[in-house]
Amino acid sequence: MLKKSRGIIIHHTRFGENSRVVNIYTEDWGMRGFLLQRGKRKDNKAALLQGLTLVGLVAYYKEKGGLQRISEMRAQPVLQSIHSDTQKSTLTLFITELLYRSLKEENANPELFNFLHHSILILDHLEDSVAQFHLYFMIQLSKHLGFYPNGICSNETPYFNLLEGIYTSSCNSEYEISNELAQYLYQLSNATFENFYHIESIAGLRWQMIEALVKYYELHHTHGKNIQSHFVLKEVLHA
């Protein structure tokens, strides 16, 4: 049966001579694998397969799961800068890997889809510094995935435990992060898309934060699957 949905391109691999298996996070069906066949005429499907591309698709959808077959797919809307701006395209590479390792559910989650869709549009239109976008995004995504940092950073609880996911009073294990980093985490947690880039930070602190957040995800959600692309951010964003 032909059905329509909106989707976000996450990953793709070659399948045979003229096809691709495309992992798309959809509004109506969650994360699904789709078979995309290349037509006889030249088309722009390759451009559509770039990470985080927002698409509208029509698919031969099967309730029992397995690979779904795409009938039609187009950019919806067309993104302006994510794939052409060097810093944004590097962030896109990292966020795409993060989502590929994090989004596994084959059920609709409209709230999560809308958050991702909105985040991508924000990044595409952002004219201010993008150096902290991925940090803010990871913290907000953790709320939707069920392991958002708990508690407050205060004089009584000045540290944060990555394993427990809470602010703590002591820093005596390998999972605790420093007070400076815990304060930065708390600031980002309480920011919005409208003001996160106003938070003062230095490159060294941002790099410590991305390392801490990657570890946080690996402890709670990616099931030990290592995230690697954040190392590129250090070179491009001077993270």
> What homologous superfamily is domain 86-236 in, according to CATH?
Recombination protein O, C-terminal domain (1.20.1440.120)
> Which pTM was predicted?
0.92
What would the pLDDT profile of 45-89 be if each residue is shown by its tens digit?
778 999 999 999 999 988 877 889 999 999 999 999 999 999 999
More confident residue, 183 or 224: 183
CATH topology classification for 2-75: OB fold (Dihydrolipoamide Acetyltransferase, E2P) (2.40.50)
What would the pLDDT profile of 202-215 be if each residue is shown by its tens digit?
989 999 999 999 99
Give the model's pLDDT for residue 14: 87
Residues 121-124: contacts with CB within 8 Å, 24+ apart?
121/54, 122/193, 123/82, 123/88, 123/91, 123/92, 124/79, 124/80, 124/81, 124/82, 124/88
